[in-house]
Amino acid sequence: MDSKELIHMVYRGTHAGASSTVSIFRRGIEQSPYADKWMTDGLMYSVYAGRLSAVGTDCDDPLDAYWKLRKNLMLYDIPER
């Protein structure tokens, strides 16, 4: 199996506890045209509207990310078509 075909998706729900990470195949899921700008090895993804979307990294601190958002400008790749 090619490692480029696997992604790590964040799952938040009652079946997996508060939060867990699962691996899924990328086949059939669109990738953003800007993905080469933000894709890294430690990135976690989610799927929204059939498109792969970055949701954070393994080492993200939610409180730190909140203050970065409040004090600085942050650009996000919105997974809309």
Beta strand ranges found along the chain (DSSP E): 6-11, 20-25, 43-48, 51-57
- Residue whose token pair is 């080492």: 59
Strand duo 20-25 + 43-48: pairing: unpaired
What are the pLDDT digits (tens) for 17-71?
455 566 666 677 777 777 777 777 777 777 777 777 777 766 667 788 778 778 8
CA pair distance 62, 33, nearest whole angstrom: 27
pTM tops 0.95, yes or no: no
CA pair distance 25, 47, nearest whole angstrom: 11
